[in-house]
């Protein structure tokens, strides 16, 4: 068994911190979205669909999730009237997910709450540190994508 290098240890610390931050972000997202009948997962799906009608598999690829988990979320969103399924002229079985007016209204309300929250928290960290963290995470993501 190899011993981690200093870079390997730093990478591991980064991953653990990302896991912690991810959990906190999901909790915060659930608090932001709950008044509108959404959750972090539902918000993420609506955020992708907001850019245009798209099959579930494309949503999953965009979000880095399994098609099955996105399908379950989309089915719940449809049941609650936030999205609808449309026929897909390019594929007989893969229906398109489309936002309903109720979904769009809920998404806009969440976006407004999110902006207030992000401005408040973002204002507590220097812009230089935020941009450095973003760049580090992007580089890490790119290396992970290359390592598949």
Q: 16 — phi, psi (to 5°)?
A: -65, -40
Q: What is the pTM of this model?
A: 0.87
Provide the residue ranges of all domains of the chain, joining segments of one domain with +.
Answer: 35-146
Predicted pLDDT at 91 = 84
- Using one digit for the tens of pLDDT, what is the confidence trace for 115-142? 999 999 999 999 999 999 999 999 999 9
Percent of the chain with pLDDT over 70: 100
Q: What is the pLDDT of residues 31-48, one digit of tens each?
A: 999 999 999 999 999 999
> Which residue, 145, 56, 49, 63, is CA-closest to 106?
49
Average pLDDT, the chain: 95
Domain 35-146 in CATH 3.90.330.10? The answer is no
64's torsion region: left (phi>0), alpha (psi -120 to 50) or beta? left
């Amino acid at each position: 068994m190899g011993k981690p290098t200093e870079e390997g240890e730093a990478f591991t610390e980064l991953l653990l911190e990302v896991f912690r931050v991810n959990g906190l972000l999901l909790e915060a997202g659930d608090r932001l979205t709950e008044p509108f009948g959404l959750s972090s997962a539902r918000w993420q799906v609506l955020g992708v669909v907001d850019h245009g009608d798209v099959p579930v598999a494309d949503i999953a690829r965009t979000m880095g999730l399994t098609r099955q988990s996105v399908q379950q979320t989309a089915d719940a969103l449809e049941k609650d009237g936030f999205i609808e399924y449309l026929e897909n002229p390019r594929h007989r079985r893969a229906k398109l997910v489309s936002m309903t007016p109720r979904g769009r209204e809920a998404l806009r309300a969440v976006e407004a709450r999110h902006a207030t929250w992000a401005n408040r928290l973002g204002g507590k960290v220097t812009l230089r540190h935020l941009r450095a963290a973003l760049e580090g995470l992007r580089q890490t993501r790119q290396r992970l994508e290359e390592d598949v």
